[in-house]
Amino acid sequence: MSKGPQYQQDMPPPGGYRKFNWERTVLWRPGIIIPGLVGCAVFGIYQAYYQKRHRQTEKFEDRDILNAMEPFIAAERDREWLRLLKKNREIENELMKDVPGWKTGTWFGEPVYYTLGEKWWDPAQLEVFAHSPRKSQMDEMLFHHHSEYSAPKFYDKWIPDFIGRYIW
């Protein structure tokens, strides 16, 4: 290989550079920073693990409590549901007592569902709210839980009613 053109390169001084004086930094040197970072990472991993476990236990306990409460809540819900349906039935009786050939809960004597026979089937939303004001139906449909502060805020007094009734 023939020699190329000669350049003057900026090389380290003969004997190399002198060693870095870590004494002039108060604390920060490789022997401290690297174990520090590794320690932080390990601690973070442990913390994440234990926090996840704690969260999981929390959710598990909540679900456990719900499972335990289920019979009580279901019994109360059933009673309330049947009470509402009975109220609807009475209103229907009252309304249609002069119509000839009408049996409540059926269409002029014919049952609404053919294959059901004696089985129980929950009525549809239209039937349940047939005798209720529209407001109760919209409340039921648009209700949802809020995870945060859900009382009126300062600007609610300026929102007109026809928008405001659908927002909160």
Partner 1 sequence: MLRRREEEDPRKTLKEGREVTACGVKFLQSLKKSCNKEVDTYASCIDCGSSKLYISKCRPEQRYLDQCVEDNLNIERPPLGYFSKIHVHESSHPPPAPIFRDYKKEADEILHSLPDDRKMRKDYRRFNDWRISAFEN
The residue range among 16-24, 60-68, 89-97, 132-140 that interacts with partner 1, by the rule CB under 8 A, is 60-68
User: By CB under 8 A, is residue 156 in contact with partner 1?
Assistant: no
Asked if residue 8 binds partner 1 (CB under 8 A), the reply is: no
Residue type for 5, please?
P
The SS3 of residue 161 is helix
Residue 86: CB minimum distance to partner 1, A:
10
Nearest CB to partner 1, comparing residues 61 and 139 = 61
Residue 72: CB minimum distance to partner 1, A = 5
What is residue 76's three-state secondary structure?
helix
Amino acid (1-letter code) at residue 142: L
Site for partner 1 in 99-118 (CB under 8 A): 114-115, 117-118
Q: Is 126 helix (H, G, I), strand (E, B) or coil?
A: helix
147 near partner 1 (CB under 8 A): yes
Question: Which residue type occupies 104?
Answer: T
Q: Are 29 and 22 in contact (CB under 8 A)?
A: yes
Site string for partner 1, 24-53 (x = CB under 8 A): ------------------------------
Contact 84, 128 (CB under 8 A): yes
Under the binding rule (CB under 8 A), the answer on residue 78 touching partner 1 is yes
What tokens does 98 get? 């002069």
Q: Look up residue 143 and give its two tokens.
A: 């209700």
Residue 71 binds to partner 1 (criterion: CB under 8 A): yes
Distance CA 158, CA 45 (A): 49
Name the residues that contact partner 1, by CB under 8 A.
54, 57-58, 60-65, 67-68, 70-72, 74-76, 78-79, 81-82, 114-115, 117-120, 147-148
